[in-house]
Structure 1
C-alpha cells in the first residue's frame, strides 16, 4: 500500500469510520508497472477496461486520448449502472453488456462493449479479477493481453505509466508531457494533486456517500474552499493550474469538475455553487474541454445514467437546461461573467 495521500485514502480504523457513516475509499490491489521486464512497453499489448461514468476511469481515458494512444491501447466500456439484485451472480457489479437499455435514452448506449480484452468474453469485471484469485471488482483495469494478467487498477498510477511510456506504446508525435521532468514543476503538481484528491476527487464522494451530517459538512466545506483556492490561482491569467502548460494536475481535476454542475451539484449534495459561478475555473474547464481530444474521452450521458440511475428510484433528471445543456455549455467560456 502506498503512503501517497494524493493517490489513496488513509485506511486507519476503516471499520470504525465506516460504521459511523463515513465514506472511506478502499485501496487498489494490483500495482504492477509498464516498463518492467514483466510488463514491457509495447504497442498493441495493453487493454483498458473502463466505465465512462466513473471519474477514476475518466482519468485513464483522458490520458489515452490526450497522449494519442487510442490506436495502440484497446478499450472496453462497461454499462454505467452496475448489476441489480436480480443478477444471478449478485448486485453492484460492473458488466460488459452492450445490449442493456439505459433508462435515460430508452436504448442501448453505443459506447458500451463486450469484453474483447481477455479473449474469454467475460461478462463481469469481477470475473477478470477472479482469474487471478482476487475478490476485487473495481474499474479501471489495465490489462496485459499477452500474459492475460492485470497490470494495475489504480488510476493515478496508470496515468503516470501511460505518460512515461507513451512513445514506446505508440503515442502521437505531438503529444504533451503530462508529468514534466522539471523537479520544481513536479513539486507543484504533487501539492496540487494532494489537495485536489483529498478535497475534490475523493471529497465529492465523501460528501455524497457519507451518512453522517458532520462528516458531510466537513467534506462540503473543504470542497468549496478548494474551488475558491483554485479560482484564485487561475485569476492571474494562467491557462492551466501550473502555468501555461497542461499537466497531470489539470487531468486529475477535470473529471470531477466536468461532473459538478449537471450531476454532483444534486447527486453529491454539493449545492454550494456551480462551477459556472467561478469565472476563472469555468474558463479553465472550457479550455481543458477543448484541449487535445478531451471531449471524446468522456460521456455526459453515461455520467447522468450512472449516478442517477443507481439512486433509489432510478429516475434521471433532465436538467440543467440553463444557461444551456451540458456538456454543450463547456464550449462557451463567455457564460461565466
Structure 2
C-alpha cells in the first residue's frame, strides 16, 4: 500500500480572478505519475534523478526525504542557483537555472551546492527546458526524473516524498528496513492523524506563509497571518500536551517532514520577508525544541541551505538587498543546535 491519496492542494476555483485581485493562488502540478513495480516507472536504484532548488520549501520536503531515507547514493540530484533568471536572460525572467558558475551576491563566489544538469543527456540549463522536452510549459521544481527514459515522473512534492518512502528499499536505501524512519506507517489510525496535521500544516503554514507574503491584498494578508500564528499555537499545544518529541509521538513521520521546511525558514527569512513578524519560533518553546530535534537527525542539516534561502527570497524583493541577520540570540542555522534558547515565558 503506497498511500497515494494527497488531499492538501489549493482550491483552484476562480483562480484567475483571485490572482487578478491580488491574492496568491498556488497552481497544481501537472506531472503525477507514480513509481510502480508493474508500471512505466518501476522503483530501481540509480535510475531516478531529482532537480531541486535548496531555497524552495517544496524542494526541501524532497531533499529531506532523500536524506532521511538514506537515498543520497542511489537517487542523484541537480541543484539550481537560488536566484532565478533576470530580464536580460535570453530565455526570459523568473526561470530556475542549473548554472554552477553564477556568482552569489551573498558570498561573492559560486555556491558549491549548485550544479549543472546531471540527470539528462541534454545538458538542460533551465528547468523549463526539461518540461519543454515533453511539450509542457511548466517551470517549477522539484522534478523527479527517469534517467533511463528521459521522462518526468512527478513534480508534486507531496507525492514524491510518499513514493520515496514507499519504495526506499527498491530505490537503494543505505538503511535496512526497520532501521530507517517510516514516514507514512501502515496504521490506519496514524495515517488519519498524519493527514489531519498535513492539512493544517499545508493550508495555514506551508502555503499560508506564501498567502501572507506574496498577496497584495491587505485582507488576504491579515487572514493568512492570523491563520498562520493560530496554527503555530495549535501545534505548540499539541507538542506540549504530553511533551512528545515528534508530532505523532515517539517517531518522526511525514507530518514532521512537511512542517520542518517552513519553520526552518521562519526566524531568519519569513519573519521579515513574508511579513510574519508576530512571533519567532523561539517564542514557542516546544516548537523550538522540536525544530532543533529534527535538525539534529542524520542528514537533515545537509538537506537545505540558509544562504540559498536568504538569497532566493530576498533576492526577489524590489531592491535585491539581502539582510545579514538575525544575530541575536545567535546566528542561524547555528541556533538550531541549541534547544536551550527557547523562550519558555512569552
Partner of 2:27: 26
Q: 1:300 aligns with which of 303, 306, 322?
A: 306
User: Distance in 2 between the 1:291 and 1:234 partners?
Assistant: 18
User: Distance in 2 between the 1:57 and 1:300 partners?
Assistant: 14
Partner of 1:149: 151
Partner of 1:110: 112
CA contact (8 A) 1:94 1:137 kept: yes
TM-score between both structures, scaled by the size of structure 2: 0.96
Q: 1:96 aligns with which of 62, 75, 98?
A: 98
Cα distance per residue 1:172-229 (max 9 Å; x no partner) = 2121111001110000000000010000000000000000000000000000000000
State the Cα RMSD in Å. Answer: 1.0
Cα distance per residue 1:65-112 (max 9 Å; x no partner) = 000000000000000010000000100000001010111111110000
The answer to whether 1:175 aligns with 2:180 is yes
Greater Cα shift, 38-47 or 291-300:
291-300
- 1:292 offset after TM fit, Å? 2.4
CA contact (8 A) 2:24 2:211 kept: yes
Equivalent residues in 2 for 1:317-336 (5 A)? 317-336=323-342
Could you list the runs of 5+ residues in structure 2 that have no partner in the other structure?
A: none
Cα distance per residue 1:152-174 (max 9 Å; x no partner) = 00000000000000011111212
- 1:265 offset after TM fit, Å? 0.2
User: Distance in 1 between the 2:96 and 2:5 partners?
Assistant: 28
User: Distance in 2 between the 1:16 and 1:93 partners?
Assistant: 24
CA contact (8 A) 1:97 1:113 kept: yes
CA contact (8 A) 2:6 2:159 kept: no
User: Distance in 2 between the 1:3 and 1:192 partners?
Assistant: 14
User: Distance in 2 between the 1:15 and 1:324 partners?
Assistant: 43
User: Distance in 2 between the 1:5 and 1:183 partners?
Assistant: 16
Partner of 2:294: 288
Q: 1:87 aligns with which of 89, 109, 115?
A: 89
CA contact (8 A) 1:5 1:198 kept: no
TM-score between both structures, scaled by the size of structure 1: 0.98
Moved over 2 A (4+): 2-5
Equivalent residues in 2 for 1:170-319 (5 A)? 170-171=172-173, 172-173=175-176, 174-235=179-240, 236-319=242-325
Secondary structure of the structure 2 residue equivalent to 1:199: helix
- The number of equivalent residue pairs is 335
CA contact (8 A) 2:83 2:312 kept: yes
User: Distance in 1 between the 2:225 and 2:135 partners?
Assistant: 38
CA contact (8 A) 2:51 2:143 kept: yes
Secondary structure of the structure 2 residue equivalent to 1:107: coil
Secondary structure of the structure 1 residue equivalent to 2:170: helix
Cα distance per residue 1:266-319 (max 9 Å; x no partner) = 000000000000000000000000012111111111001100111111111000
Greater Cα shift, 30-39 or 79-88:
30-39
User: Distance in 2 between the 1:118 and 1:47 partners?
Assistant: 9
User: Distance in 2 between the 1:3 and 1:288 partners?
Assistant: 25
CA contact (8 A) 1:257 1:275 kept: yes
Equivalent residues in 2 for 1:26-105 (5 A)? 26-35=27-36, 36-105=38-107
User: Distance in 1 between the 2:7 and 2:167 partners?
Assistant: 24
